[in-house]
A = this chain, B = another copy of it.
C-alpha cells in the first residue's frame, strides 16, 4: 500500500480570516453532533447525547448476515458472525471518546472541516471482546507490524474513494476491544452497529465503526486516514505527525441559564457549584484548575473519581459569584502537561485542547 494521491483542488481548506461558517461545514454540523455540555453531569453519557462523527453515511447493516473477517499475516484466517463474536470472552470498559477535531471551529484562521466547538466528547461503557484474543486465535505471524481495521462506511475524501480504514501498530493493542454493546444495549446504527473497534485513550478516529475486516500487515499501513486525514501539520506541504492519544482536557457544565440564540449565560450572584469532567488519553488527570476571571488567576478544583483509567473524572469547585460580566475557564493537567490557554494551531485543526471559555453575566 502506498500513500494515496490527493487531488490539489480537493485538499483541505483554511477559511479566510473573517469568513463565516460555510454551507459545507453546516451540512456536517447538522448531521453530526456534539454532547450538549450540560450532559457532563452524567457519568455515562445517555443514549443520543454522546458525540457522533460519521465520515460518510451510516451504513444500513443487517446484523444477521454481517461477518467479521480476520486475515492477512495470520496462521488461520477467521470469519465470525455476531453470535460467534458474542460467544467470545467479554470485557466491559468505560471509555471517554473525543473527536480529534474537537475545538476546530474555535481556531483563527479556521481549518474547514467538521466545525466542532468544545463538545465532541462522550463516555460510554463498552462491552466487547479483546482484539488481542481474536488475533491470538488467528495466530499472528512473526512479521506482523500493523493491524488494519476496515469499516463498511464508504465515500470519498479529498478525491480519494475509500472504505474507512485505520491502521494500528501491533504494539498498541492493549485494552483494544471489538465492541458490540454500548451502555448494555446493542450498538445503535450511528455508533457502529453491529460491531466496532474501541481504542481506549486514542482520539475517536482509531475506533473504526461498522467493522468488517481486520487485516494484519507486515508493513506500516499507509492508507488515507493514517497518512493524509489525521495528521498534525504546521503547514499544508509537510507530512506532519500522526494523531494518536487524547491530550488533557477539562470541560465545565455551563452554569446558570442561557439565552436561546447566543447561548450567553445568566448566573445568580452567590455560591455557585461549578462542576465538570476532565480526561486524558496518555495518563491520569492529576489537576483541574478553574479561573473565574478570564484566566487572570486559577484555583484548584476538587477531583472526583473516574469509571476507569480511560474514562473522564469529575471535578467541582464552589464559586462565590458577584455581579458583573466575566469569563469562566477550566484546564486540566495530566502527566505534567497542562492545557494551553492560547490556541495551538495546525493546518487540519487536530488535537486542539485550548482551555474552555464560558462568558457569563452574574446578576
Among listed A53-61, A68-76, A196-204, A215-223, interface-contacting one: A53-61
Which residues of the partner chain B approach A33 to less than 8 Å between Cβ atoms?
30-33, 52
How many copies of the polypeptide does the oligomer hold? 2
State in angstroms the CA–CA spacing of A38 and B27 once bound together. 14
A 13-34 contacts with B by CB, 8 A: 19-34
Assess whether B117 is in contact with A27, with CB atoms less than 8 Å apart.
yes
Q: Please tell me if A266 contacts chain B, counting CB pairs below 8 Å.
A: yes
Interface residue tally for chain A (C-beta within 8 Å): 61
**A-B CB contact pairs (8 Å), 24 listed:** A24-B261, A26-B29, A26-B105, A26-B117, A27-B117, A30-B34, A32-B33, A36-B190, A38-B60, A41-B60, A42-B189, A46-B188, A47-B188, A48-B49, A48-B50, A48-B52, A56-B257, A56-B260, A57-B257, A57-B258, A154-B257, A155-B259, A156-B257, A156-B266
Q: Which A residues are closer than 8 A to B by beta carbons?
A: 10, 12, 19-34, 36, 38-39, 41-42, 46-50, 52, 54-58, 60, 105, 112-113, 115-117, 119, 154-158, 161, 188-191, 254, 257-263, 266
**Considering the complex of A and B, which 7 residue pairs feature the smallest CB-CB distances, nearest first?**
A20-B20, A48-B48, A33-B33, A21-B21, A29-B29, A157-B260, A47-B47
